[in-house]
Amino acid sequence: MARAGEAEATLEASAGDARAKASRNAALRFGGVALALAAVVIVINVFSHGSFLTPGNLTNVLRQITYNTILAVGQTFVIITAGIDLSVGSLIELTGVVMASFANAVPLDNGLLLVIATLAVGLAVGCTAGLINALPVVKLNLPPFITTLAMMLMARGLAFKLAHGRPVPVDSNAFDAIGIGFLFQGLLRPLGLPGLPIAVLWMVAIVAVFAIVLGRTRFGRYVFAIGGNEEAARLAGINVALCKTLVYVISGGCAAVAGLLLMARFSSGSPNTGIGSELQSIAAVVVGGTSLMGGRGSIIGTFLGALFIGLLNNAMNLLGIESYTQDIVLGAVIVAAVIVDELRKRYLT
Amino acid sequence: MPEREPLLVMTGIVKTFPGVRALDGVSFDVERGEVHALVGENGAGKSTLMKVLAGAYRADAGEVRVDGSAVSIDGPRAAEALGIGMIYQEFNLVPHLGVVENVMLGHEPLRGVFLDRKKAREETIAGLAEFGIALPLDLPARRLSVAEQQMVEIAKALVRRARLIVMDEPTAALTEREIDALFGLIARLKAQGVAFVYISHRLEELPRVADRITVIRDGRTIETRPAREMPQDEVIRLMVGRPLQSHFPELPPVPQDAPVVLDVRGLCAATGVRDVSFAVRAGEIVGLAGLVGAGRTEIVRAVAAADRPSAGEVLVHGKRIEAHGPHRAIEAGIALITEDRKAQGLVLGMSVRENTTLAHLELFAPHGLVERKAEESVTNAQIAELRIRTPNGEQVVRNLSGGNQQKVVLAKWLIGNADVYLFDEPTRGIDVGAKAEIYALMVELLRRGAAIVMVSSELPEVIGMSHRILVVGEGRIRAEFGRAEATPDKIIAVATGVAA
């Protein structure tokens, strides 16, 4: 027993080391992205004659990445289970069109109630689509690439049909606040800031909530376990089918929230705003260090990935780089980020 | 006229893996047109020897001569060029391709850059006819029966002009009539000068098919004799050979009044479990013995609802488990420690802590969020108790040794205080020291009143670590032995179907 006690004592000590090491690993994981960010930021600021590092511009970047970040949060859950969700871009459109039509159709004078009811409808549509994505995956073992590809086509087709091929303008102005509104304008103006965009607050809230869900709850742990070894997870008594269903439902729900914010921003639900968004979200997830093989990743990483891509896009605009060149650079950056991550994994752990 | 050299002579073959001397100077030869049976216990070195012959492994020492000249077989192509064909237990057919495409795979006749389908078909038909094999040519391989797939494998070897065909457990999945057909084909091919190395656990069929028998044990050749001079009981004696090692702990006797903990009644499953019934009492270890593929793993998996049972019931402490997947069995107190820890037991990319708590995470999340401190203290206690050699609980289990990985699997189930532990090959591939620790742990579980079922392919282990032994064959329990009456010979005789 004495020996066991001793062993325990050393273990206590080494658990402290372990925590230090874990945080060092985390620092390395995020440190890479952060370092790249810092380097890019400085270079760009020099070349854009200082117009990049202004509070106004940075606020703008945050607002621009809001939609992609929210999509990428849901996508992160899916990708950690070694799945993929190609339908999120179309679901922005479908939920946007449905929510705009709904908001126009219901006679609700209270603006807040209207927003809540509209969001509920959008979430119902998005989560149902996620459920439909998941069922063939968990019941018939179909590849998620196929089921979400089918959903991508169907949701976009349905959005166009419902909207008769045109954007659906929103009559009520109840959505203006979340679309283009700012908080703390008076407080922040002296600092040269236009205020805090309300949409950005939504993003921050979603990132925070799902970072906790993924990092601290049983469900989050199960998501990692399923992605790491699905059979071992099943034999450990984890309800694999339920967990996998939930990740697609979360992804569909995130698409609905992004759909609401986009609809609010443009005061209309449009059936073609989401084209390519699914790939943007996957790019953010991958650049943020989540493995497409499953089992590894984080929400904070995804946020940094989306931020990095957003800053890069913004910088290239400021530098007057034409959009074709921007695509080439973005593609190269994605591959480079994954290569760096792969090398880090190989040599630093 | 000088005596012709044998077709194949392997002399003094040595092959070591980290920590294991798999082949320790094996010698083996095959004459033209001969069927030479190679027998031995699981792990005796048969497969390793054949992989050396096939070029899958390079021997560390020793010589291989074909037709009297020394050869170096450095890959499957080299083996093929020498006329050596391998038919593994798991066939290597492309499931969606037809018979012709499979037979010709890698040797497709061409016309310019294009495949010459007509010629491929003609050559296949000619080859099959030459050896009297009938097969439906247009069906994809996945639609063929096991026997037909085997014929495709044989045809593949023959089309490549194989003069020596190695068959690993060819009759394991065949019916009696299919076995007759296979033996007929072997006889015809022998008459044409083709030789066979025949690996089988089914000792009763050796007199029908083999000309000579070689027994290997612990990586050494024990004896080679003509089949008719080697009766079955002699083969068994040579296979088992060594006296039982006594590194097993003393098993505490099962108390007279010990209650039945696990009661399995008429259990059937689509995986090949047929009407299995047995009971295990508190403080008792029941060993499941049998050949590889006999259905032992399938039985414990069905008990733990890892595979869905199709009939029968499982009771723990008299309460029936609704078989809705593993979580119900776990709730009822059943822990399955799987055979393949890497594929089924562990999430290799997760830490020791995360693996340890995975099956019982609800214990660490009373308010929704997982409490890391609680996880750490329980994990550290397990690391200390099981002496898991790891720097700390945050080590990724992929980086641990096999024995320590196995201990992490055990820790995962120990923290749940299960009533029934199903151990499937608990000591496979781990070193002697870790083995002893796992045996000691099993005894400790008995003292706590657990019921244990242990599947093991090592006969000494089954006999040394079980109160009772059930011998499994073809998914059924064929016989039961008490510890005192069990001998390796008896168990092998029942397992191989020699005795009922």
Tokens 């063929």, residue? Answer: B144
CB contact under 8 Å between A229 and B396, yes or no, is no
Shortest Cα–Cα distance, B389 to chain A (Å): 11
Residue A10 lies in a domain: no
Structure tokens at B422: 């199903």
Q: Residue A239: list chain B partners with CB under 8 A.
A: 325, 327
Residues within 8 A of B (CB atoms), A 278-297 only: 295-296
pLDDT grade for A1, boundaries at 50, 70 and 90: very low
A·B CB contacts under 8 A: 104
Higher per-residue confidence, B463 vs A44 = B463
Residue A143 lies in a domain: yes
Give how far Cα B369 sits from Cα of A128, A216, B143, B314, B364, Å.
Answer: 27, 5, 50, 34, 8
Shortest Cα–Cα distance, B121 to chain A (Å): 35
Per residue in A196-253, pLDDT (tens digit) is 899 999 999 999 999 999 999 999 999 999 999 999 999 999 999 999 999 999 999 9
Residue A202 lies in a domain: yes
Q: Residue B350: list chain A partners with CB under 8 A.
A: 224-225, 228, 295
| Structural domain of A110 | 29-348
pLDDT at B3 over 50: yes
Q: What's the CATH number where A156 sits? A: 1.10.3470
Residue A107 lies in a domain: yes
User: Out of A84-98, B29-43, B60-74, B124-138, which region has the weakest mean confidence (pLDDT)?
Assistant: B124-138
Chain B touched by A166 (CB under 8 Å) = no
Shortest Cα–Cα distance, A236 to chain B (Å): 5
DSSP A272: T
Helix, strand or coil for residue B24? Answer: strand
Q: Residue B331: list chain A partners with CB under 8 A.
A: 237
Burial of B330 from C-beta contacts in 10 A (0-12 / 13-18 / 19+): buried
Residue A247 lies in a domain: yes
Distance CA B75, CA A244 (A): 43
Neighbours of B253 (CB within 10 A): 12
pLDDT at A10 over 60: no
CB contact under 8 Å between B393 and A18, yes or no, is yes
Q: Residue B412: list chain A partners with CB under 8 A.
A: 236
Shortest Cα–Cα distance, B133 to chain A (Å): 38
Residue A9 lies in a domain: no
pLDDT above 90 as % of chain A: 59
pLDDT grade for B128, boundaries at 50, 70 and 90: confident
Structure tokens at B374: 């609680």
- Closest chain B residue by Cα to residue A10: B392
Shortest Cα–Cα distance, B93 to chain A (Å): 23
At residue B386, φ and ψ (nearest 5 deg) are -90, 0
Higher per-residue confidence, A153 vs B126 = A153
pLDDT at B500 over 60: no
Q: Which of A12, A21, A225 sits opposite B350 (nearest CB)?
A: A225
CB contact under 8 Å between A15 and B327, yes or no, is no
Of B270, B262, B290, B206, the C-alpha closest to B422 is: B262
A76 near A83, Cβ under 8 Å? no
Chain A touched by B337 (CB under 8 Å) = no
Query: Mean pLDDT: which of A77-91, B79-93, B109-123 is highest?
Result: A77-91
CB contact under 8 Å between B358 and A17, yes or no, is no
pLDDT at B59 over 60: yes
Q: Residue A11: list chain B partners with CB under 8 A.
A: 380, 383-384, 392-393
pLDDT grade for B431, boundaries at 50, 70 and 90: low
Per residue in A282-323, pLDDT (tens digit) is 999 999 989 888 998 999 999 999 998 998 889 888 888 998
CB contact under 8 Å between B326 and A221, yes or no, is no
pLDDT at A6 over 90: no
Neighbours of A231 (CB within 10 A): 16
Chain A touched by B374 (CB under 8 Å) = no
Shortest Cα–Cα distance, A234 to chain B (Å): 7
Q: Residue B414: list chain A partners with CB under 8 A.
A: none
Structure tokens at A20: 């230090």
Per residue in B372-396, pLDDT (tens digit) is 999 999 999 999 999 888 889 999 9
Q: How many residues does chain B have?
A: 500
Chain B touched by A10 (CB under 8 Å) = no
Domains and CATH numbers, chain B: 8-240 (3.40.50.300), 260-495 (3.40.50.300)
The amino acid at B442: M
Q: Residue A22: list chain B partners with CB under 8 A.
A: 394
* Residue-level pLDDT at B1: 40
Alpha helices in B171-289 (DSSP H): 176-191, 206-209, 232-240
* Residue-level pLDDT at B18: 67
Distance CA B270, CA A234 (A): 19
Tally of domains in chain A:
1
Structure tokens at B307: 């595979």
- Closest chain B residue by Cα to residue A8: B384
Per residue in A176-191, pLDDT (tens digit) is 888 888 888 777 777 7
* Residue-level pLDDT at A30: 64
Burial of A91 from C-beta contacts in 10 A (0-12 / 13-18 / 19+): buried
pLDDT at B131 over 80: no
Q: Residue A4: list chain B partners with CB under 8 A.
A: 384-385
pLDDT at A327 over 60: yes
Structure tokens at B19: 């920590």
Mean predicted lDDT score pLDDT of chain A: 87
Using alpha carbons only, what angle is made at residue B303 by residues B460 and B336, rounded to the nearest 5 degrees?
65
Shortest Cα–Cα distance, A219 to chain B (Å): 9
pLDDT at A23 over 80: no
Chain A touched by B308 (CB under 8 Å) = no
Residue A333 lies in a domain: yes
Task: Give the end-to-end CA distance of chain A in Å, rounded to a whole number.
Answer: 34
CB contact under 8 Å between A8 and B394, yes or no, is no
* Residue-level pLDDT at B64: 94
A287 near A309, Cβ under 8 Å? yes
Shortest Cα–Cα distance, B384 to chain A (Å): 6
Cβ partners under 8 Å of residue A89, min gap 6: A71, A152, A274, A275, A276, A277, A278, A279, A281
Across residues B436-444, what is the average pLDDT? 90
Per residue in B264-322, pLDDT (tens digit) is 999 999 999 999 999 999 999 999 998 877 899 999 999 999 999 999 999 999 999 98
Per residue in B390-429, pLDDT (tens digit) is 889 999 998 887 788 889 999 999 999 899 999 999 887 6
pLDDT at B244 over 90: no
Strand order in the sheet with B220-226: B84-87, B164-168, B195-199, B35-39, B212-217, B220-226
CB contact under 8 Å between B359 and A237, yes or no, is yes
At residue B88, φ and ψ (nearest 5 deg) are -80, 165
Per residue in B146-197, pLDDT (tens digit) is 888 888 998 888 888 899 999 988 887 777 788 888 999 999 999 989 999 9
B465 near B439, Cβ under 8 Å? yes
